[in-house]
């Protein structure tokens, strides 16, 4: 192999590696968006919201699918489908973050993160022992 050919092959390999790294970096940076934006973007996104309890959550054991309705800060709602079991403490969560994308009018989540009330948040009144 000639020296010139080695430089060309090396340059192509470096170019492909840089392109792959840039693509992976852009895919790992998932933006927080509203439900309205998620419906139009077609990209993988994150939505923070609350579980709409009156629309109940359900788990289908046959398909291993957990579904619930999420409401964002703007009051928009969307049905969320997650391939997996219901997260622990889901009912206790103050807020829920879902990662995924909208397909056929439903949000297909690849991840569900729950934020539960902190056990360290005490009442504002101090206990008699602490005074």
pTM: 0.68
pLDDT digits (tens, 9 = 90+) for 37-46: 999 988 899 9
CB 101, CB 44: distance < 8 Å: yes
For residue 123, name the pLDDT band (cuts at 50, 70, 90).
low
Segments making up each domain of the chain, as ranges = 1-30, 31-115
> What would be the CATH architecture of the domain defined by 31-115?
Beta Barrel (2.40)
pLDDT at 128: 46
Per-residue b or e along 76-104, where b marks 16 or more CB atoms closer than 10 Å to that residue's CB = bebebbbeeebbeebeebeebbbbbbbee
Mean pLDDT rounded to a whole number for the chain = 85
């Amino acid at each position: 192999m000639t020296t010139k050919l080695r430089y060309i092959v090396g340059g192509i390999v470096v170019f492909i590696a840089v392109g792959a790294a840039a693509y992976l970096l852009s895919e790992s940076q998932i933006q927080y968006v509203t439900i309205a934006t998620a419906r139009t973007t077609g990209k993988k996104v994150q939505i923070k919201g609350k579980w709409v309890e009156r629309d109940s959550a359900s788990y289908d054991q046959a398909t291993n699918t957990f579904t619930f309705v999420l409401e964002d800060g703007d009051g928009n709602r969307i049905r969320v489908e997650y391939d997996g079991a219901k997260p622990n403490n889901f009912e206790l969560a103050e807020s829920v973050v879902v990662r995924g994308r909208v397909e056929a009018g439903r949000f297909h989540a690849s991840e569900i993160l729950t934020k539960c009330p902190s056990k360290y948040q005490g009442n504002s009144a101090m206990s008699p022992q602490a005074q």
